[in-house]
Chain A
């Protein structure tokens, strides 16, 4: 076999700022033309491996290493980061951070400019590369005129201009809507076919990456490689959940049904599955046995109603067009649709950050038009996507108390209210802690507590689980579900189709500023036309149930979720 292009030999690494090593005894060879997925929960060390490969370690993040690492036959410690950047091209998770140029063309040219390539040659290379990733019609566009998926194409083109031998993707799916994520995976595949580069994808969303062929999966946990196997063999193992990764849904469903996952099943895609008649019957039997799971919804009264609302940030563009819907008290609802469809704008209108150009928004029948932002906030709380964008006090207590200080509450009242809120959020034991000592999921809770303390009736959350691994996802969502069970109405803006199915019975779908559908979550993914228009993606459960001849995939999904929940509770208790 050929020489590996990347080779870790008993490699360990410790960041200078940290007390213990982040990587231990890594042995990993990656060969030219391979496609490898490095999976792992957050904090597992998978991103650190990426930084070792592209040279950010040791150039940007100093530290001590043991063992040996060779990239393209060279020792990164002895080379400059520039030499490495000609071997390894990195597409970072944050496409806005990676988009450095003022326009697409400039950004693709960036590496060439730094190489002092003459302008004529540069223009040619940029054009060719832009064609490869299908962005050549947007060369003069500024970043804010592009969608997340388009920005990622630009990032990819920007590293491809250097003819790199390895393409490294750091969580490429984190900021994309489902359909854009799927296109990205297809694009990576095409680019690899044409360039023959080795591809390394660092991602915890296993099922989405597996949409196209992956040769090998490396699973990380606690800074160690716990598995390194060909994809098929890897999927037959049940170790994923223990390591904080969600296994592909269709495989979980098959396991529930008692179908053993073997390599002969071709388990890497839901489409490629080779299920025998017996297996299908097992799935159908499981479906029949779980009848009655997932109960009916109770009748409730309207709490929030949006009536014929239209809005545009500028007079020329309508960001929302005549939107009407209502939310019932105690509901948990998802708002879905592609980036820029108007979901966040709608949330801003409901919170009073922006005023609708026409139409009105009512809370429990009362028109909110004349209420200030602060007045609305006591009824409707808004939680931003990134907790770091909200937290402005070093101590948890102060952060939660902040919203109360503006009112004229007595010290005792405030204390009581903060304590109560902290208890609801499970933060009471941490009340004296600095915010900086918390995990991402706990910080998210702090921001939610900072909103809950005003005792709103409705909480709107923007992408509550974006970029989170399965462990944190579950932690945040179970917490929100608990709040919902206590009577809070919860509205979530999300890209995550399984979140929608798993936690919210109802979904409102937006596209291009219009309300496309307002229906049950399961129904949304059952309607191929709707799925396509809203840039969504059907889940693999849908595909699986169809291939097993179950005529009602909605019901199949419902039973799956109910079964899984019972299963999880059973494990915990």
Chain B
């Protein structure tokens, strides 16, 4: 229906797909934590390489995710640009040394330290991208809620995630229908109107959307209550799968990466790896 560029579950036979949602969720969390904490170039590069290998195994093709990769690239580029514009000497501060490669203009010079800093911050994001994408593309959304429940999240909160996934297409379709009908009455958000007018115009679409969502909330919660949601402290899951040997291996591997990564990172007493001293 609506063609908003989003990434979806892509069903293919691969060892990554076969892992349970729980294993992939833990893997993903451990991986993001490692990437968040460390600033060690060696660890980041290793993670990136391992990520690339897993990506190969997953049978997901670059083509499947090209739109998403493009977005990530734009985001990274802008982020780096902003950092440089605001603090061209930040790398010098972090790595406590200064090797000028060439000057640009005024206070803007290019230093080896600044470039190295940019490399690291980029790596930090890039090494999570393949794992995040795989997590989305290889995990059956139906397994989400039960996976969250298994790692200790209350099933009520977990089910809210499931409901979000369930109703995104419906909300998207409704948004589209309402906005088309309102466009026919002169309400346009993309136009050349002033910001304030556009904000006011958006209400003409959002108010009906919200009123209908509130109505939907009532219907859905009635339907759930009538079928016994929330009756017991626990619940079972139709789509849950038992953890197999490979799941434990994956979980163990992710935790190992996290542990080794942290150990290497802090072996020199700081989260940065500094080749300049």
Contacts and interface: CB of A to CB of B under 8 A. Distances in A.
Bound pair (A, B)? yes
Nearest to A407: B186
A100 B228 contact: no
B236 A116 contact: yes
A406 B224 CA distance: 43
Nearest to B206: A392
B127 to A, nearest CB: 30
A242 interface: no
Contacts of A570: none
Contacts of A80: 231
Contacts of A392: 182, 203-205, 207-208
B188 interface: yes
A163 interface: no
B227 A119 contact: no
Contact of B166 (A101, A109, A116, A389): A101
B229 A110 contact: yes
B170 A105 contact: no
A200 B257 CA distance: 60
A373 B183 contact: yes
A172 to B, nearest CB: 14
Interface in B190-237: 203-205, 207-208, 211-212, 215-216, 218-232, 234-237
Interface stretch (A52-60, A230-238, A469-477, A481-489): A52-60
Given A82-B228, A377-B185, A388-B208, A100 B238 contact: no
Contact of A92 (B211, B219, B232): B219
A126 B236 CA distance: 14
Interface residue tally on A, bucketed by range:
35 or more
Given A100-B166, A122-B236, A114 B229 contact: yes
Nearest to B140: A102
B223 A92 contact: yes
**Binding site secondary structure of chain B:** helix
Interface in A542-569: none
B1 interface: yes
A314 interface: yes
A351 B184 contact: yes
B200 to A, nearest CB: 10
Interface in A96-115: 96-103, 105-106, 109-115
B184 A374 contact: yes
B185 A159 contact: no
A308 B218 CA distance: 44
B94 interface: no
Contact of B142 (A106, A115, A123, A373): A106
B231 A405 contact: no
Interface string A60-100: 10000000000000000000111001100110101011111
A555 B205 CA distance: 46
A351 B180 CA distance: 9
Nearest to A103: B142
Nearest to A387: B208
B238 A106 contact: yes
A126 B184 CA distance: 46
Contact of A112 (B180, B216, B238, B240): B238
Contacts of B230: 114
B190 to A, nearest CB: 11
Contacts of B163: 100
Contacts of A159: 226-227
B221 to A, nearest CB: 7
B260 to A, nearest CB: 36
B235 A113 contact: yes
Name, among B185, B207, B239, the residue most crowded by chain A CB atoms within 10 Å (CB to CB).
Answer: B185
A132 interface: no
B227 A110 contact: yes
Contact of A90 (B166, B188, B226, B236): B226
Interface string A384-411: 1010111111000000001101110000
B186 A119 contact: no
Given A100-B224, A392-B204, A406-B187, A313 B238 contact: no
A389 B227 contact: no
A102 B141 contact: yes
Contacts of B14: none
Given A96-B170, A100-B166, A81 B183 contact: no
Given A85-B227, A92-B223, A392-B203, A406 B235 contact: no
Contacts of A268: none
A30 B237 CA distance: 35
B237 A388 contact: no
Interface string B137-150: 00001100000000
A313 B207 CA distance: 27
A60 B238 contact: no
B178 A389 contact: yes
A376 interface: yes
B174 interface: yes
A97 B184 contact: no
B256 interface: no
Contacts of B162: 102
B154 interface: no
Nearest to B224: A100
Contacts of B239: 105-106
A111 B222 CA distance: 13
Given A388-B211, A389-B178, A402-B185, A92 B203 contact: no
Contacts of B87: none
Contacts of B227: 85, 100, 110-111, 114, 158-159, 162
5 contacts: A54-B226, A106-B142, A118-B236, A348-B180, A392-B208
Given A100-B166, A351-B180, A393-B204, 12 more contacts: A55-B226, A82-B228, A85-B225, A99-B166, A100-B227, A102-B166, A114-B230, A348-B180, A374-B184, A377-B186, A389-B174, A392-B208
